Structure 1
Amino acid sequence: MKIFLDRNKTLLPRVDKINLLARLLVLISICWLTFIDNSFEIEKNLFYILIGTFACQSLLFYIATINKFDIKLAYLSMIIYDLFFVPLVILNTGGIHSSYFLLFILTISVAAYVLTFYTSIIVIGLLSIGYILAISQTFDIEHMLNASLVFGFFWVFYFGLVYASEYLHRSESRMLKLLNTLNLRTSELEKYQAHLEMIYENSRVLASILDSDSIIAEVMHLMGKVLHYESYAIIFSDNKGNFLFRARYQNKKNSFHLKQIDKEYSELFDKACRQNNPLVIKDITNREDYQPMTKNSRSLMIVPMVAHDRVRGLLVAESSTAGYYNERDLQLLSAVSRSAALAFENSELHKKMEAMTVKDELTEAFNYRYFVQKLEEEKRRASRYQLPLSLIMVDIDWFKKLNDTYGHESGNMVLKELSRIIKKSIRDVDIFARYGGEEFAVILPQTPQVDANIIGERIRTNVERHTFMIEKGEKISLTVSVGLSSYPENGYSQEELVSLADKALYKAKGEGRNLVCIT
């Protein structure tokens, strides 16, 4: 049976010291009445025994208050001691005529405060029995009323204390619950504020970055090191409506490889882009329209990166806990997405400004200077992240003969049309440049040799099937020779890649033209 109430956590003053002070006052009062006032008449040896044991018990209680042993045991021993001490004092100071029954008030108070209801009822019952035994020798009918009043006082005082104690305990519990909630909210607000400040500082960094790869790296850092997501990704869409992972963190590893997402798992991404609103899915366990990045993912958050009403991509976060993401998580990721969207927009504007100085005026392909710069950057990135890189060189077959036959203006028209065909044959991430004269180059980031060969064959086939319009409405057909090289298969420097792709191009010409060759 449970004996003690749970009073470990309390807003109210602990009664330990109050109780100890009250017992010391009782000890002093008894000594005063005995030695000074002489109104406490008791046999001296018994008096010394009672005072000695009372003092020892009080000392024992004091030792418990300084955490030397369990305070509950000290209270229990004190209550048991009082059940003997107080009746003995009453018995030896006049019985029914003694006023020392008031000492029971201290015992009743302690029992009501520290013991459970039924345990304290037993204590009050034993206390009543002790009082009856103490007054039995001096009791008569004339004192029936006085004895009844004392008994009534004991029980009324006890029930009053129990009611007041329970009321205070309930109020205290509500107050503690409220304080715990306030502490939790304060902690959450402080954490939220810290996150916002960190996001603000990183947003300032993002605003100064003009390179898209560096923006992606910084956003991934924010999602991982600041917001501490378990799995997360940056997703872009191409001009055909396909969604691709541009960067992702899963199974405790970063990946910057481009990976197309299957159409059947793109519905949520498409919805977030169309509605221009974030999505929070509490449980994705049984969803068939989404494929989690990790097997144990349960909840999902998708936030579009929007700048000037244009969706520039998506930020995705996953958690292994169902219903993990709340409104604050959404606000934090939205803050990151806005900063990222503006950074990507700035980067895009910067590229457009650069394009005005790096584009070939006739074909609108990048010029040679830009080609050299981008090839160096892509080669450096491929080496850093251990990614494949390929280079395609394209040359028009018999172009000099075309110029001599139809004139340079027709040749320019062919170059423009060929430029459009090549652009349609490659991906958005590929870099198309005019290498010189009738020769073009295509840099294929994150593309192994096998895939580069497919793209080169696509360019060759599309040119072969196309009918070119030249001056005076005449139509002609052309072919191109294509050479390609790849990192790391064919070389480790950009100079080697260019040299080997050029050799492959002349090999195609030497073997009959209208071919794709690899060194």
Structure 2
Amino acid sequence: MVRRSGIGPEGRSSTAVRRRKQDLPSLQGAVKRRVTQPSVPLAMKLPKLLSVEEVAAGIRRHPEVVRRQARDGRLPAEKIGRVWFFRPERLAEAGYTQFLPTMASSETPPIPATDPPTESLVRVLGEAGLEALRRPEQDAIFDAVGRRLAEAGFSMFVFLVADGTGLRCAFRRVAEPDSDFEKVAGQPAVGTVIPFDRAPILHGVCTTLRPHYIADADELVGRMAVAIPAVAGNARRVSELLHMSTMIAAPLAVADKAAGVIVVVGPRLRQADLPAVMAFANQTAAALETARLLDEARQTEEAAVLALAATIELRDALHSRASEHADLAERFAEHLGFDQARQRRVRYTALLQDLGKLSLPDSILKKRGRLDPEERALMMAHPGVAADLLGRFASLADLAPLVRAHHEWFNGEGYPDGLRGDAIAAETRIISIVNAFFNVTFDLPFKTEATVDEGLQELTRFAGINLDPALTESFAAMCREAASHKASWYQQMLDALLRSTPSVPAGPKDILSVADSRELRIIYRIAQETNAVLDLGTLLSRIVNIIRDVMGYYMVSILLPGDRADELRVGAHSGYAIDITGLTIPTAQGITGWVFTHGTPQVIPDVKTEPRYIGLDEKVRSELAFPLISRGRVVGVLNAESQHADAFSEADVALMSAVGSQLASYLEVAQSHDTLKREAGHDPLTRLNNRRLFLERIQQEVIRAAAAAESFSIVFLDVDELKRINDTYGHLAGDALLREVSNALMDAVRGEDVVARYGGDEFVVLLPATPAPAATIVAQRISDGIARHRFMAGRELLQIPGVSLGVATFPRDGATAEELLATADATLYRQKRKAS
């Protein structure tokens, strides 16, 4: 049996344990040790407390000695997260009388008790926060929360940080909708920029990330006059219009940084409302950050669509007007009242409808006249090819059925599936109408200003056959209305029509064959062989194998950012004699490090004369390193090496440029998927493993321990009185309590132990290779550690109420995960009943 050789957090594992860790994947490594720090320095909230440095100076010891003595219990100390602090009175009781003057000088008057927050305001703010979380865009978020607050009689202003020098008003909603706010103020509120030096209160809210309350109407008038000189003369009238007798300003904090300030003004705000407004501001900030991330995702999706559309344009034989089709189709979708998401789907479908034709030979694309049955069968297959290709991209998969159906007819006689009527998606029926419109207008050999009207009349003849009659009528009405009003978009379309030439097949010299295009072969094979959801390692391996196979390079590798900011890690390779996956290279060394740092490709004709070259194969003579850039950021380096000197030319660089953006996009999607998988296994509040991941890990440990005839233990614990803390101090205090328990647990265990939040107020710890006596010691250490931790409940510093623990050991207390958990749970509740 393998015994635990060290039960402290820094204990070393035995040889067998280390060998076991090499054989099984460790999920504990995925847990980031999250330390909950106070939102502001403790001295600001609790002025009587002393830091490690202050105590070290007082007793003339090094701060690390003070920390060690606090950890060992030789100094009376308490802890929040990783921060030790000391109470002067307890130090004096322990014999350190030099801290008695500190006690005397730090006396502060008690903070007066405050009334509970306004119940109606809490309800309104909660509803407004939920409204914000449901909105996908910034303006919609502001409008939703502003409307809720206005209904409750409060006005709201949102200021966003502008270039780090001031605040720009991005939104305002006045409680009285009929009031002429701009007329009274003398200028519009939205767009006004306030320098930080004119608004010190708002500046302080941004820098400290703490809300601020003002209950003096005259002070508010004065501060408004200073902040916005243009309204100084009317400041009093504006204040009366807004009923601005009280104000609360709260930060819109994202990732420990203020993105702006939300200001609520009205006649009856109180200091007790600060926590509620702050919670509301946090919800609004989270909604804004979600909206920003969604916008970035949309930009990434659009970049992928445009890249694929550009690939289609490489086939000059198609003479595609895809962008013009897309513009008109999107405008028609907007005319029909489609939301923005559906408008984007229409646009993307128009851009990608010919994607499947990349698989067709030039003999079919250039052929004049009718296709023979065999050629027609190949042509009819191209919508399916495009749909299969799009289905491999997770972000574009919803376009696959739309593109597949773009040759379906309304009467059911189209291809490839013979869909009829409403079975064809509305987005695709729009594309069919736009395509037909271009066929009867832009593709005519001679055009006049009457061509559009004649074309619209021609469309009505196809209504009910291949076109939706109702949509065709709506399209004609939209165009005729635009013509009568001389809409700018219609005039631009008419000008483009009169300048256009009909689409005809190009000559042989203009055609880029799929078979001869290495760029398209790489892009197509990657898309063809990559599933919609892949783990990062599999995707990288496929990419390097495809590039090496198509290009005939000697060796190919992809390097990604490492765990540290100053290193690269080999993500995958092909052609190397040894396995170098995971090898790290400092960014300050080597050609790949230089390329990653500078974002510029490098061609090395002879590596033997290049001092930066780091070689693993003596046969290599030349190298090409190319940065993979996505949205302006280097996400990796594609590295190719050859046995021949001067083997790489500008043509190779051009090829890498053509496929590099695609590879970067694939990498970013795969990395995002990898991150989501990790996030799915962790509790968002404590950052510990969640229940699902813990159950997977304990099942693995049962199998391993049974095969090796070893034991292991689990410690199950329940936090006492969590409901009382929530009811008394609010759920934010309960969350702080749970985070502090997780910190104490991580302090008490080894690196290979698995800590998880099992659910609610329950936590569980898996102790591999740990028999029952050692597990009992660990459980006691956990209990002692938790007793020394403190958490913040509003302005109060509280001790953790306590925990109940239960221990179970495999195989003595159970042979399965379920039996062990049941035994530990029963032990826990026996202890809880005994304590009560």
Q: TM-score range by the shorter chain?
A: 0.3 to 0.5
TM-score scaled by structure 1? 0.39
Structure with the largest fraction of helix: 1
Higher relative contact order (CA 8 A, sep 6+): 2
> Which protein is bigger by CA-based radius of gyration?
1
TM-score scaled by structure 2? 0.26
